[in-house]
Every structure is written in structure tokens, then in C-alpha cells.
Amino acid sequence: MFEVLVFVFENYWRGDACPELAHLERKLNTVGFDAEEIQDALVWLKDLNLAASGLQQPVTSRDEADCKATASAPFFSQSPNTMRIYSAQEQSCLSVESLGFMTFLESSGVLTPHMREIVIDRAMAASADPVLLDDLKIIVLMVFWSLGKEPDALVLDELCESSAERIAH
């Protein structure tokens, strides 16, 4: 699925330049991606678009309604002194390196709390278990892409650089 996402990112620099999902599916089939990977990526992208636009899934129970009402409080109003505690499920889904990298991006001011939550949501929806650092970087890029934001050049370099190829000085 991540190869499909990278292809979409590279060929449609901005999220609003991406064609409708049916047209994108035909394009991805033409390029030669596996049908199952394409379907996984299209569902993932559709849900990313919903998350980026602030839409939520319908609530099915009162407990979920209470939880979603609390969760839908504006992220921009969070105090700078707040700390995100990851659930056991999130910790098992995200590698230690991925969690550390997200903390780094957030403390550097690159990821807003709202963007962080979208990244976590999309990481939890990814088929990889756990989500490795290179895959998390793709997710972060796709969140920027879906919001129509371009990361700073240094951040973009950090997100696009493979951690395996880095040489320590």
C-alpha cells in the first residue's frame, strides 16, 4: 500500500490535484500496481480526506458519542504544556522509532496536535504492524499533502531521507 501512496504523492504534488478515486484507480491499474494494494490505498486515501476535512464517522452508541464529543474539542486550543499519552494499542501499532519521531516533529512545531491525531489515525489504519519509521514518514507526508500544506525544506528532506542511508558524523 505504501508504494501506491508514494506514487500518488510523487505524481500529484498537491492533494487537490489528485483525480477522483475512480480515475485514480484506473491510473494505478494501468501503472501495474496490485489490485489489492490499490484498493487498500484508495480506502486509506478516502479516510484521509475525511479526516483532513474534519468529517467524522457516524456515532453508533451513546458511549461513543460522549467519547467523540470530548475528542472533537478543537486541537488548536490545547495548552502548549499538554502531553499526548499513547494507548497500549497505539504503542503496539507504532514502532518505538515512529513514536519518537512523531514526538520530535511535534516538539519542533512541525506537527500540530490536529495533524498528529490524523497521523495516528492513519497509522492505525495502515496494514503494517508495527508501522515502521519509513512508513510513518510517508503517512506524515500524506497528511501534509491532504491538508494542502508544504513542509519546510529541511522537514521535507528529513521525511524523504531513508534512515538506513544516513551516515552519522
The DSSP result for the chain, as a single string, is -HHHHHHHHHH-SSGGGSPPHHHHHHHHHHHT--HHHHHHHHHHHHHHHHHHTT--PPP-SHHHHHHHHHHTS-GGGS-TT--PPPPHHHHHHB-HHHHHHHHHHHHTTSS-HHHHHHHHHHHHHSS-SSB-HHHHHHHHHHHHHHHT----HHHHHHHHS-GGG----
- pLDDT of residue 74 exceeding 70, the answer is no
Which range is most confident: 1-10, 61-70, 147-156? 1-10
- pLDDT of residue 92 exceeding 60, the answer is yes
Mean pLDDT of the chain: 80
Please tell me the least confidently modeled range out of 21-30, 99-108, 157-166: 157-166
Stretch 96-125: mean pLDDT, rounded? Answer: 92
Q: Tell me how far apart the alpha carbons of residues 160 and 163 are, in angstroms, rounded to a whole number.
A: 9
- Please report the pLDDT score of residue 30 as a whole number: 92
Q: What is the pTM of this model?
A: 0.78
